[in-house]
Amino acid sequence: MRFNLLDLLLPRETKFFDLFCEHADRLVTASRKLRDLTVSLDSQSDAGAREMLHAAVVAVKDLEKEADKIEARINEAIDESFITPLDREDIHLIATYVDNAIDAVKALTHKVENYGMFRMPRRSLDFTDIVVECAQLLAEAFERIKKRGSMTAQAKAIGEAERRGDYLFSIAIGDLFKEGTDPIEVIKSKEIYEGLEEIINRIDAAAKVLRRVMIKQS
């Protein structure tokens, strides 16, 4: 991150980095909720799965609302700050991309409930492992930036995880069409896989935006 005499003469707002970290923390928690749901559904009766799924939907929805409030605080802080640590447009862009990833987690949990799926497709756990990994790496990237460190390693790792997700998606879809017998269930499972891949892609997009902003600042 660029450092010059102006930083000494006019100390820049640091609250944005705290807010970014809070925002990313909600994404991590939502991602873990999704993974926990994927793990737990297989061991439940239909009634237990229905209850567990609804609880997960409510929990993720609450996290998404918290994330929206954090995003609103970020935008308010932009308006209230005389000097910001990054360009105002970049701060808004970063918050938007992180929020998009959280929205994707919420959308997927709602879809699973709406489809009445009490068992996740076979490859879902592998996908949610990657989702959690990417979310944690993004949170680490924000922590590194907060401490004026480099997030290059985290960005690279997210990119590698995203490529693993692409490969997993191709395998999962192939298995689905080879092994599936009920066309409706095949369609449902395909949409769940697409939703999981979308979450990974949105986290990767957030990391790429963050990386570009940091390069511009260096």
Dist CA 203 CA 127 (whole Å): 13
pLDDT of amino acid 125:
96
Mean pLDDT of 201-214: 96
pLDDT of amino acid 12:
54
pTM of the predicted model, to two decimals?
Answer: 0.92
Of 7-21, 140-154, 201-215, the one with minimum mean pLDDT is 7-21
Mean pLDDT of 124-148: 96
Residue 6 has pLDDT above 50, yes or no: no
pLDDT of amino acid 4:
46
pLDDT of amino acid 90:
95
Domains, in order of start, for the chain: 12-217 (1.20.58.220)
Dist CA 70 CA 86 (whole Å): 17
Give the mean pLDDT of the chain: 91
Q: CA 176, 110, 44 angle in degrees (round to 5)?
A: 70
What is the band of 13 on the pLDDT scale with cuts at 50, 70, 90?
Answer: low
Dist CA 210 CA 12 (whole Å): 19
What is the band of 10 on the pLDDT scale with cuts at 50, 70, 90?
Answer: very low
Top-confidence residue, 46 or 13: 46
Shortest CA distance to 117 belongs to which of 187, 188, 193? 188
Residue 126 has pLDDT above 90, yes or no: yes
